[in-house]
Each structure stands twice: as C-alpha cells, then as structure tokens.
Amino acid sequence: MFKIKRYQLSNDNLKNWVKFIWHFEADHVDVDHKLLPMDSIDIIINLADDMVYETTTDRITAPKLHVNGLRGWHSFMHQKGNIDVWGISFYAFGLYPFINKSLKNIQNEIIDLNSLSISLADKLKVAVTNETTQCKIKSIMESLDSELEITDSCLKRAEIIDEFMKNDDIPISVFCLNNGISQKMFERFVVNMTGFSPVNLRRIKRYMVASNQLLFNKSAKISEIVYDHNYTDQAYFTKECRTFTGVSPRTFRQEKNTVIENTIYI
C-alpha cells in the first residue's frame, strides 16, 4: 500500500479551483497501476525517475512537469526506482483560469505544462526547489495565485458547471432552461473549460462513484450498484464498465490493481 500525503489549501483564492496538493515519495519501487476515469485534472511535478503512461494504443514517457487531463477511459502508469512526485489536483473546470486557454484538446492526454503556460511551469519548477515541505507547499500556492485570472464570466460559468455536476438527475435541456442559457452555449463553454462535453462529464462522475462502491463494498451486488446509481439496467452498466476500465464489472472487482485500491491518503 502506497501512502500519499495530501495537503489542504490555506489560500482562499484557490479553493474554488484546486482540490488539494499532494506528495508521493518512495525508494526502490516498481509501480504498475491502472488509472481510472476521474473528474479532476492534475498537474504533476516529477522530481525523480521517469513516469510512463500506457494506453491501448500508446506508451508515453511523461515530461517532468505535465498535465494529466480528464480521462474518459483507463490507462496505466508505470514507475520504477525512486519516486518523488508533487501533484496539484484541480476540479474539472479548475485549471482553466490559471492558463486561460481552451482545454478541449487535452482530454485523455498527457500534456507538457510548458505548452499550456510557460510562466506557470517556470514558477512551479522553482517552487519545488525549496528545502522544506511547508516551504514547497507555500511556494506552490503562491505560484498558482500569481497566475490566477478570474473574470466574472469565468466565475459564473464555473459555478454553473459545478451546479450541473451536483444535480446529475436533471436533464441537460431542463438544467439550461432553469439557468437561462442555451444548451449549445452551455455545451460549448463546458468543453472549453474542462475538455469534455456535459454528457461525458456526468458519465465519468457517475462511474467514478459507482466504481468505488464496486471496489470497496464487496457485499454489494452488481444489480444493487446499478440501481443505486440510476443505470438503466445491468447490461448498460457492464458496457460503461468496459468503456472506462476495459473489463467487465466482475473482472474489475477482482483485479486489485487500480491506484485507488493501492493508495491511501494521509
């Protein structure tokens, strides 16, 4: 079991955009984990041996400073030797105001942060050179704060996306009507700020929650999970599971190789 230290934010300006800062350090390890679809985006700062991401079609040695975009399907992460990784986890819409560029092309991708923001990349490189953990964390937050550019439009749209994700039982057309926006406009700015369409964001969030129940509540029947998370039937849930994990629900439950199963936050 790997232990990741998670640090809450003390900077109020960042709390609507960043979930937490995390750090993972270990020596002489061989990590081979499945990464599941998530509703968050991470900036990864790797200070040790290479991180290699693998999909069904590609194998990528990640830049030392990279963005792991929202994922709509599983991938694998390999790391051998020494690990010293800092990460910043953003809400689905959270990275946007730090780079102020469309994220529509970073879904399911590993992106060099320099291609999105040279300024933020340079500041974070310096931030993690501080000697103590607390100084690193403080400097990371200061770097993020200095790059944060929030317009009234950006803030309003982020609030709408957040509300949409929390009310996943409301049809998109009804949600847009209730908020006085056109569905096309809503879909456009959701893709722009997150990389995914509203429909796929909800699919990812719903499966993420269902998969946690599948993994950590062994007594729960698959039919119960289907019912609990409002899937139309077991066949559809199985199809979604294969889309997001590459295997059936029963096989997924037996694999025991995902990050969430092999990691605890402290």
pLDDT reading at 191 higher than 90:
yes
Q: Give me the pLDDT at residue 259, please.
A: 66
Sign of CA dihedral 12, 15, 17, 18: positive
Residues 196-232: pLDDT tens digits?
999 999 999 999 999 889 888 888 899 999 999 989 9
pLDDT reading at 258 higher than 80:
no
Domain residue spans in the chain? 2-147
Give the mean pLDDT of 17-27: 94
pLDDT reading at 263 higher than 80:
no
Q: Which two tokens stand for residue 6?
A: 């998670």
Q: How confident is the model at residue 25 (pLDDT cuts 50, 70, 90)?
A: very high
pLDDT reading at 261 higher than 70:
no
- Residue 56 is which amino acid? T
Q: Which two tokens stand for residue 263?
A: 């990691």
Contact assessment for residue 45 and residue 86, using Cβ atoms and an 8 Å cutoff: yes
Q: How confident is the model at residue 184 (pLDDT cuts 50, 70, 90)?
A: very high
Give the mean pLDDT of 156-161: 96
Strand 263-265 relative to strand 59-61, pairing = unpaired
Angstrom distance (rounded) from CA 206 to CA 157? 21
Give the mean pLDDT of 28-45: 90
Give the mean pLDDT of 33-49: 92
Contact assessment for residue 238 and residue 248, using Cβ atoms and an 8 Å cutoff: yes
Kindly report whether the global pTM for this prediction surpasses the value 0.75: yes
Mean pLDDT of the chain: 92
Q: Which of 193, 207, 194, 188 is nearest to 246 (CA)?
A: 207
Angstrom distance (rounded) from CA 132 to CA 169? 45
The CATH architecture to which 2-147 belongs is Sandwich (2.60)
Q: Give me the pLDDT at residue 33, please.
A: 87
Residues 52-104: pLDDT tens digits?
999 878 899 999 999 998 888 888 999 999 999 999 999 999 999 999 999 98
Residues 195-206: pLDDT tens digits?
999 999 999 999
Q: What percent of the chain has pLDDT over 70?
A: 98
